Amino acid sequence: MPANRCVFVTSANVDDLDEIDRKILTILQADGRAALSEIARRLDMGTATIHERVDSLEEDGYIREYRAILDPELLGVNEVAFIAVHTEPGRFSAVAERMAEDPALQEIHEVTGEADLLVKIRVRNRSELTDALADLGAYEGVEATETKVALRSVKEEQKIQVSDDE
């Protein structure tokens, strides 16, 4: 099993969580493989109680999934680009939903400003980026795209701050 896993926390209201739940989420975000017994030891609580709380956090949607964090450089996909997508009036949501079906696109956001969507893609090389841009430009409802290629990624973080202690 991979050494690094992340826990994706939903945007549910963190204010509804008590301090124990926040600490559990903080621990799991730092180490998604943390054993429930280890969490219980760190919080000086029973393992069964931690198990119930984690189950509840999962059922309530605070924890969406557990997954490995892969090293893009080792996998050879270290070219990152951000694509501003301009759509035909009123079409941005439909275009975004269709784009969401493309596994090559890492993120798709509906945004304010001149563009309607902001897309993040990670590729092996500029040739793959060129092909991806051609595909995006061919989507029905897309009027234009504007691409920014990252020279260097200084910080990429999936963690959500769930307590003031972090």
Convert the pLDDT of each residue in 42-90 to its tens digit.
999 999 999 999 999 999 999 999 988 899 999 999 999 999 999 999 9
Residue with the bigger pLDDT between 166 and 145: it is 145
**How many angstroms from the chain centroid is the CA of residue 38?**
26
Angle at 28 between CA 48 and CA 157, to 5 degrees: 170
pLDDT band at 2 (very low <50, low <70, confident <90, very high): very low
* Token digits of residue 21: 């739940």
- pTM of the entire predicted model: 0.82
Q: Domain map of the chain by residue range?
A: 5-68, 74-149
87 forms bridges with which residues in the sheet? Answer: 142
Answer yes or no: CATH 3.40.50.1820 is held by domain 74-149. Answer: no
Q: What is the CATH number of domain 5-68?
A: 1.10.10.10
80 forms bridges with which residues in the sheet? Answer: 122
Distance CA 145, CA 79 (A): 18
Tokens 């008590």 -> residue: 18
Q: Are strands 117-123 and 105-110 parallel, antiparallel or unpaired?
A: antiparallel
